[in-house]
């Protein structure tokens, strides 16, 4: 049975999952706007479809086009996760998907997964960079043969405190 801990912040929730035999360690970041954006998108879809129905009563084809088009524009926020498999490597994944689909379906159909074998990983570091006129910190992997650093959480950008926590746990796992 895995041990799961949740740490909620203003912009995201960090979920840490660890197996009892330490065979894997998983970090997942879910934006707090995940459910709020779902409700707002559903409301927007309803309003757009109601307006299209009112103005296009006789043109069923246009109503269908507007309905499908409005569904296509309503995407969920990106959920990112990093999984460390002991003695095997690190898997980085993220998914967003569409508002009208359940989270499980979005995760199954729209997730992008990249696996880095342990022998290709040189180190994990917290690096700093510039974004506009501010300094940002990001957690990344140094991978053999790669010309760029591999960001672990490129979209959600967790706070430095959480990056340090993840970094320490990754180091304990031998990454």
For 74-82, what is the mean pLDDT?
Answer: 85
Residue 55 lies in a domain: no
Residue 116 lies in a domain: yes
161: confidence class by pLDDT, cuts 50, 70, 90: very high
Residue 103 domain boundaries: 3-36+74-172
Q: What is the pTM of this model?
A: 0.78
pLDDT digits (tens, 9 = 90+) for 40-72: 777 877 777 777 777 766 677 776 777 777 666
Number of compact structural domains in the chain: 1
Phi, psi of 141 (to 5 degrees): -105, 145
Residue 27 lies in a domain: yes
Residue 44 lies in a domain: no
pLDDT digits (tens, 9 = 90+) for 81-124: 999 998 899 999 998 887 777 778 888 888 899 999 999 999 99
Residue 60 lies in a domain: no
SS (H, E, C) 74-131: CECCCEEEEEEECCCEEEEEEECCECCCCHHHHHHHHCEEEEEEHHHEEEEEEEEEEE
Residue 124 lies in a domain: yes
pLDDT the model gives residue 71: 67
Residue 57 lies in a domain: no
pLDDT the model gives residue 141: 94
pLDDT the model gives residue 60: 72
Q: Could you give the angle at the alpha carbon of 19 between the alpha carbons of 171 and 109, nearest 5°? A: 95
| CA atoms of 34 and 95, how far apart (whole Å) | 12
Residue 100 lies in a domain: yes
């Amino acid at each position: 049975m895995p041990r799961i801990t949740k740490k909620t912040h203003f912009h995201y929730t960090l979920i840490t999952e660890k197996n009892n035999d330490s065979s894997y360690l998983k970090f997942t970041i879910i934006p707090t706007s995940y459910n709020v954006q779902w409700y707002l998108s559903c409301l927007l879809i309803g309003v757009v479809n109601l307006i299209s129905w009112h103005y296009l009563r006789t043109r069923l084809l246009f109503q269908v086009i507007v309905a499908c088009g409005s569904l296509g524009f309503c995407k969920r926020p990106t959920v990112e996760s990093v999984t460390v498999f002991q003695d095997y490597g690190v898997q980085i994944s993220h998914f967003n998907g569409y508002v009208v689909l359940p989270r499980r379906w979005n995760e199954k159909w729209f997730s992008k997964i990249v696996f880095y074998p342990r022998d290709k990983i040189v180190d994990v570091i917290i690096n700093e960079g510039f974004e506009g006129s501010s300094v940002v910190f990001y957690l990344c992997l140094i991978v053999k043969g790669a010309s760029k650093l591999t960001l672990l959480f490129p979209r959600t950008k967790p706070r430095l405190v959480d990056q340090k926590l993840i970094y320490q746990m990754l180091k304990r796992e031998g990454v």
